[in-house]
Structure 1
Amino acid sequence: MANFMKRNGKWQARVSWRDANGKLHQKSKAGFATKAQAKLYAAELESELGKGVDVSADPVFADYFEQWYKTYREPHLAENSKNQYTANIKIVKLYFNQIKLKSINRSFYQQFINDFGKAHAYGTVKRLHAQIKSCVKSALADGIITKDFTYGIKSSYNNSLARHVEYLSIDELKRLAKVVSDDLSPDNIPAYMILVAIYTGARFSEILGLTWDDIDFDAKTIRINKTWDYHNHQGFLPTKTPHSVRTIRVNSALLNELKQLDNNHTGRIFEVVTAPYFNEKVNNALKHYLSVAGINKKGFHFHSLRHSHVAYLLSQGVDLYAISKRLGHANMSITSNVYAYFIDEYKRKSDNLIESKLDKL
């Protein structure tokens, strides 16, 4: 129900309604130059009420974003992911300040993405946008807003800040694998971990979390079903996502080398105390082996072995679907997005091969 009154030459509209519990609510707005403008405001408000919109709720967007994170995301995230959200909450608070959720439209949000993208790489912008988009969907479900202001937004980013993905050529990967294999001994755990990464493409925490019952020596497989928390020392944790649980086929040589570590083959394969900076110790060992192998890759680190594994499989003509499953990605689109650089490179090589074959027709 709407009422209108004129005060000091300006019109005011007041809309009254009762909620599901019968409680009376009112919302008013003054300052309209004409009664027609006041009626239009009241009609729009009543239309939103008819759609189930909570017109009395209009939180500060930054506050809503933080509360949404704490309610729907924080309880289910690993520590690294929590840190990403925490950083993005600070960004939202800084840019949006006290701006109310209902006052944000698509053009304002697009300008935010444009401004933020000037100083950030594609991946950083994409992550922040994805988080805000999920939050806005929650606001729609809560009936606070009726339009998705993140819809159809164009990505904007600083291409000069893009990280170049370091990986090894086939020859370099073979040289590294030989150097590491020649230096294996039960007291040199980093060497074994590097070798597992070369042959499986598994993540650092996944390799640390391997137990002997994850290995099937007869089927020649390694089961990835957990991780080891080397950051906060909480022991075993779930994999990065449910899709990261997977079984990887490996070669006999790797399995025979792992057998050197434990005669009983019980418990964790890499039974080490992950004291602070253990990952740095492994990365230092990797730098040493790269140097011995005559490989100069300044930005190369342990996770680069995962990239090298993918590059090698692509070079050998392994299907992208099989690679995606081996990496533990939810779908091929994730793999193609992450490794677009590799895929484009091998596509060019394939195109050259196709052209050369067509010339022989």
Structure 2
Amino acid sequence: MASIVKRGKNYHVRVSWRDKSGVLKQKSKGGFKTKNEARQYAVELEQQLFTGVNIKQKKIPFSEYFANWYEVYKQPTSKHSTQQRYEVAIRQINEYFQDIAIQDITRHDYQVFLNQYGTNRSKNTVRIMHSMIKACVSSAMYDEIIRKNFTENIQLVFDPARTRKIDYLSLDELKRLTDLCLNGRQKRYTSRYMILTAIMTGMRIGEIMALTWDDIDYQRQTITVNKTWDYQSGGGFKATKNDSSNRTVNVTQQLLDWLAELKENNSNMVFENARGQIPTSAAANNTLRTLLKQAEIKKPSFHFHSLRHTHVAYLLSKGIDIFVISKRLGHSNLSTTTDTYAYLIHEYQQTQISEIKKNLALLAE
């Protein structure tokens, strides 16, 4: 309930209400030059109360709220690489929004921020920034600090030139790369074996580095993924990317036979070489680039993770169901797979459309 009284030349507003516990609360403000201005302010407060906003909440700089939200809800469970992304976000928010309160930011303000941020950044970089901010703003709504989510219904703006399309190998190129890996492999040097494993399983490089011999079941022809290698922070085991990344991958006897050759290195780590080291990401990529050059495959942006995309491309080309592929990759849900590999799915969808037409035409013969 709002009351408006005139005090001297100005108008004073007092809004009263009871909280969830029945306790009487009041908020007042004076200095309005006209009664209409005072009434408009009262209506706005009552509207906020109706929608559940805590109008007694002091205004909080967005930069301050984001940093606190990160420290409390995200930092304790985030990996080092994820923490680095959040630290970048904190710097960007501090620089752009400065002392602007989270309660004062509009959808327009946020879109302008994204427009500026995305001018010289890739689509994936902008998407990651947006997802972090969106999660924070959703938390602010849950805390009844704001009543509207200003990150909804916006457009991601990015630099197409920096948005790299991930290369994958054709069937012929994949066969040439596989043959080179096999023909030149030596037990003392394990990078080629890592590349073969990526080709045959679609596993991430950290998952491959972390493999121990008890992860490999020769009877059931499977590899169990239950940890990853922290190659970005000097090595050592760490948890997988998420719970769904813990999985069992069915493999061929051929791959198992190739890996068995590495037992002569006398290490519990599958890919530890004769010098007692697991090849670094840089070393594995150097070997991959050398092999691509020998195979006369010109794909400058192709790197180790591209082998995962190549694995998906190969399975799709053979008609393997996308749901089965998603589980094999360790994605938490099907949409992750379809979003990540949308460009591949579209390509093979065109092939399937031709097959549909061909088979339907048979009905009329």
TM-score by length of 2: 0.89
Q: What residue in structure 2 maps to residue 10 of structure 1? A: 10
CA contact (8 A) 1:48 1:55 kept: no
The worse-fitting range, judged by mean Cα deviation, of 236-245 and 291-300 is 291-300
Structure 1 CA distance for aligned equivalents of residues 23 and 235 of structure 2: 48
Letter paired with 1:183: G
The worse-fitting range, judged by mean Cα deviation, of 24-33 and 13-22 is 13-22
Q: What residue in structure 2 maps to residue 330 of structure 1? A: 332
Q: Say if 2:113 is the partner of 1:112.
A: yes
Q: What residue in structure 2 maps to residue 155 of structure 1? A: 156
Q: What residue in structure 2 maps to residue 307 of structure 1? A: 309
CA contact (8 A) 2:45 2:55 kept: no
TM-score by length of 1: 0.90
CA contact (8 A) 2:265 2:272 kept: no
Q: 2:282 aligns with which of 276, 280, 283?
A: 280
Q: Say if 2:247 is the partner of 1:246.
A: yes
Letter paired with 1:45: L
Letter paired with 2:123: Y
Q: What residue in structure 2 maps to residue 68 of structure 1? A: 69
3-state SS in 2 of match to 1:231: helix
Q: What residue in structure 2 maps to residue 32 of structure 1? A: 32
Distance 1:284 1:313, change over 3 A: same
Shift of 1:276: 11
Shift of 1:140: 1.1
CA contact (8 A) 1:244 1:328 kept: yes
CA contact (8 A) 1:53 1:146 kept: no
The worse-fitting range, judged by mean Cα deviation, of 89-98 and 18-27 is 18-27
Query: What whole-Å deviation, never above 9, does each CA across 1:81-120 have from its counterpart, x for those lacking one?
Result: 1111211222222222221111122232233333433433
Distance 1:61 1:46, change over 3 A: same
The worse-fitting range, judged by mean Cα deviation, of 229-238 and 58-67 is 229-238
CA contact (8 A) 1:12 1:29 kept: yes
Structure 1 CA distance for aligned equivalents of residues 278 and 254 of structure 2: 32
Query: What whole-Å deviation, never above 9, does each CA across 1:17-49 have from its counterpart, x for those lacking one?
Result: 798999997654344232243244235435545
3-state SS in 2 of match to 1:59: coil
Distance 1:283 1:234, change over 3 A: closer
3-state SS in 2 of match to 1:298: coil
- What 5-or-longer segments of structure 1 have no aligned partner? none
Q: What residue in structure 1 maps to residue 173 of structure 2? A: 172
CA contact (8 A) 2:2 2:15 kept: yes
Letter paired with 2:354: N
Structure 2 CA distance for aligned equivalents of residues 135 and 30 of structure 1: 33
CA contact (8 A) 1:214 1:224 kept: yes
3-state SS in 2 of match to 1:13: strand
- What 5-or-longer segments of structure 2 have no aligned partner? none
Percent sequence identity over aligned pairs = 43
CA contact (8 A) 2:206 2:229 kept: yes
Distance 1:181 1:275, change over 3 A: closer
Q: 1:344 aligns with which of 336, 340, 346?
A: 346
CA contact (8 A) 1:220 1:249 kept: yes
Structure 1 CA distance for aligned equivalents of residues 278 and 27 of structure 2: 57
The worse-fitting range, judged by mean Cα deviation, of 290-299 and 200-209 is 290-299
CA contact (8 A) 2:206 2:228 kept: yes
Letter paired with 2:13: A
Number of aligned pairs? Answer: 361
Q: What residue in structure 1 maps to residue 84 of structure 2? A: 83
3-state SS in 2 of match to 1:247: strand
Distance 1:158 1:206, change over 3 A: same
Structure 1 CA distance for aligned equivalents of residues 341 and 267 of structure 2: 36
Distance 1:298 1:4, change over 3 A: same
Shift of 1:355: 3.8
CA contact (8 A) 1:55 1:144 kept: no
Distance 1:18 1:351, change over 3 A: closer
Distance 1:314 1:276, change over 3 A: closer
3-state SS in 1 of match to 2:120: coil
Q: How much is the aligned-residue C-alpha RMSD, in angstroms?
A: 2.9
Distance 1:223 1:275, change over 3 A: closer
> How is 1:185-224 mapped onto 2 (pairs within 5 angstroms)?
185-224=186-225
Q: What residue in structure 2 maps to residue 268 of structure 1? A: 269
